[in-house]
Structure 1
Amino acid sequence: MASRHRCGHMRGAKGRRKRLALARRDGARCFYCRAPFTDVATEATFDHYVPYTLWPTNERFNLVLACADCNCRKGHTLPIGLLIALRPWLTRAEWAAAA
């Protein structure tokens, strides 16, 4: 991935507006560890709840704010709550790939 496309970052005024809208929606906290952000515009990163590789959309319903550590830790995996909800429909190979 090119250096100009850092994980979880959207540059400029568009990214700032989207980050502030998500902070109003979810509170100014990391979605995963619940740590508060002192400055949402600089500390928060975007994370796709359903990974972009599985569902390529940048719509707000699929975006959450996360601290850089949690965003990198999650990577391309599905959140555990979503995995449990989808478990009845996943094959063994799909389950291993998603986890």
Structure 2
Amino acid sequence: MSRRHRTGHMRGAKGRRKRLDLARRDGARCFYCRTPFTDPATEATFDHYLPYALWPTNVHCNLVLACQGCNHAKGDTLPLGLLLALRPWLTRAQLAVAA
């Protein structure tokens, strides 16, 4: 995976602008632990709600802001509620990536 597509990283003014857009959409808090960010443009990291391995795109509807700890803890897994909802439609290979 190239540096450009690493989870949580988008450099420059474009990344700051996208973080601020997401902070306005979701509130300036970590999506998982709800800890508020004092400056989401610099503190927050991007997290792909559906892992990049399953849906390799950086569309706005799949990105959430997360603190560094929550982002690394989630990694390439699906959130449990989403995994349970999608399980009937996922193949074994996709479940292996999601787990």
RMSD: 2.1
Where does 1:51-66 land on structure 2 (aligned, <5 Å)? Answer: 51-66=51-66
Separation of aligned partners in 2, 1:62 and 1:7: 12
Q: Which residue is 1:28 aligned to?
A: 28
Residues 52 and 38 of structure 1, relative CA distance in 2, 3 Å threshold: same
Offset of 1:84 from its aligned partner? 1.1
Where does 1:1-99 land on structure 2 (aligned, <5 Å)? Answer: 7-91=7-91, 94-99=94-99
Separation of aligned partners in 1, 2:49 and 2:4: 22
Aligned length: 99
- List alignment gaps of at least 5 residues for structure 2: none
Separation of aligned partners in 2, 1:31 and 1:72: 13
Offset of 1:4 from its aligned partner? 8.0
Separation of aligned partners in 2, 1:82 and 1:70: 17
Residues 76, 97 of structure 2: 8 Å contact kept: no
Residues 47, 66 of structure 2: 8 Å contact kept: yes
Separation of aligned partners in 2, 1:12 and 1:93: 35
Aligned AA for 1:79?
Answer: P
Aligned AA for 2:77?
Answer: T
TM-score normalised by the chain length of structure 2: 0.87
- List alignment gaps of at least 5 residues for structure 1: none
Where 1:65 maps in the other structure, the secondary structure is strand
Separation of aligned partners in 2, 1:21 and 1:84: 29
